[in-house]
A and B are shown apart, each in its own frame.
Chain A
Amino acid sequence: MNRNDPCATAVWRRAMHVAGIVAGVVWTHAVLAAPAKPATKLVNVADTRDMLPGFSRWLADVYNESLWSYGALVVVTMVVMGLGLGLVADRLVGLLGIDLGKLKHHE
């Protein structure tokens, strides 16, 4: 993308508008979601009785079957997501026309 391209400026401006609207919506919901008293949970059992099949249900089953598998799953999920999201977010920020080359350090 040409960084002096007026299209890049338009994309940047549009992205800022969208970000502003999203931030407003999220804030409103966050404020409306009243803070709650912290719950207490003393046993390592996930209650899956009312859960429908899906990702959460599968996670809860792994948790109930083996905590070692669950611990490994936590690390693998975070590493894979971190790498994937890092690369995707990098591309998205690049699309905003920001120069992402090597940085000169100025104190």
Chain B
Amino acid sequence: MDWFTIYLPIAGIHFNVLVLLLIGFTVGVCGGFFGIGGAWIVTPALNIFGFPMPYAIGTDLAHMGGKSIVSTIRHGKFGNVDLKLGVSMIVGTTVGMELGATLVMALERAGLAESYIRIAYIIFLTAIGSYVLHDYIQHTRRQRMPVAQSGAAVPAESFAQRLQRVHIPPMIHCPASGVTCSLWLPVLVGLTTGVVAAVLGVGGGFIRMPALIYLVGCPTAVAVGTDLFEVMITGAYGAFTYGVKGRVELVAAVWMLLGAAVGAQLGTVAVKYVRGYSIRLLFAMTIFIACTSVVLKQLEFQVASSITILTAGVAISGVILWWLVQGVRAERRARRSGSELGF
């Protein structure tokens, strides 16, 4: 298959263009739908196909910046990006990432970084995945109960609502998410997720998206859009620092971005047809698969770990595209009959 093989001079390897397009497309669909960067798919995928690890990370960050712009434009038009919230979080995220990086350096000096970080990652992913899944099950049960039994008329106050009631000036109103809270809430959420993201060595979408829902109180679609705005900023910053260190293969990033642009657009549009809680369910499943992959890596099953994550990425994007097709069909039917949409 030499027709599609190109020479990548920076990484110093030959690579199949179609593989780059496929990786880009898959991560574009997942990223646009969940509001994540997708480093957990791209980095092992590039590495397993022959990229040296630092180049895999740098190239992933570079294409992530471009791909997030594509998704953020679409989410912005849908009204899913809360700029005020996003900008407030950037300050906390930046400081948090620096603090996290300092902590990692300290662990590295003590010779504990590798195993401690991986174990922290497993615990964190399990906790987030379990909570999101628990929330989905509770929600489904409430939906199935008659109104009188479930108490749906007076819904219980959520943790996010309790946090919103803390009046520490200055207070801000975020119109897209409909949240009024102390400025310190998004700053602290950004700080915490920044520390965790830097310690775990990830972009942070996995942590920030549920944090926006459960701590700030955003609707799911706005959490996805606002998180992508953050990913766009961190992706651009990461692309620059890795570029200056000479660890970005720009030709590969360009090809991946071509695939990702189409995937991101489709993944983002799919959000329109899916109810917030269905996004949360698929997100929880994705987290568990990512967690399984890290466990396999910890047990030194490197190939099994990479294959698990790759297969999962393709399967999840398949589910999202299926929902998109079903949604478009339902929309066409609904236009004729005037009924409501959403899975």
Mark A residues whose CB is within 8 Å of B. 3-4, 9, 12, 16, 25-27, 29-30, 32-33, 35-41, 44, 46-48, 50-51, 55-57, 59-60, 63, 67-68, 70-75, 77-79, 81-83, 85-90, 92-93, 96-100, 102-103, 105-107
Contact = CB atoms under 8 A, between A and B. Distances in A.
A67 to B, nearest CB: 5
Interface stretch (B66-74, B186-194, B292-300): B66-74
A47 to B, nearest CB: 6
Given A78-B253, A89-B264, 6 more contacts: A16-B325, A35-B48, A77-B66, A78-B62, A105-B276, A107-B276
Interface residues of B, number: 81
Prevailing SS type, chain B contact patch: helix
Contacts of B200: none
A103 B240 contact: no
A63 B93 CA distance: 30
B80 A103 contact: yes
A89 B239 contact: no
A78 B7 contact: no
Interface stretch (B105-113, B203-211, B242-250): B242-250
A83 B335 contact: no
Given A46-B9, A71-B240, A93-B269, A78 B63 contact: yes
B265 A89 contact: yes
A38 B18 contact: no
A72 B221 CA distance: 32
B116 interface: no
Nearest to A99: B331
Contacts, number: 208
Nearest to B271: A103
Contacts of B77: 90, 100, 102
Contacts of A35: 48-50
Given A56-B251, A77-B254, A90-B74, A38 B66 contact: no
**Is chain A's binding surface mostly helix, strand, loop or mixed?**
helix
Given A51-B7, A56-B7, A77 B250 contact: yes
A33 B49 contact: yes
A35 B262 CA distance: 25
Interface stretch (B51-59, B83-91, B122-130, B161-169): B51-59
Contact of A107 (B55, B265, B266, B277): B277
A3 B331 CA distance: 10
B248 A98 contact: no
A68 B246 CA distance: 9
A35 B51 CA distance: 10
Nearest to A89: B265
Contact of B250 (A26, A47, A50, A73): A73
B78 A102 contact: yes
B201 interface: no
A63 B73 CA distance: 30
A60 B10 contact: yes
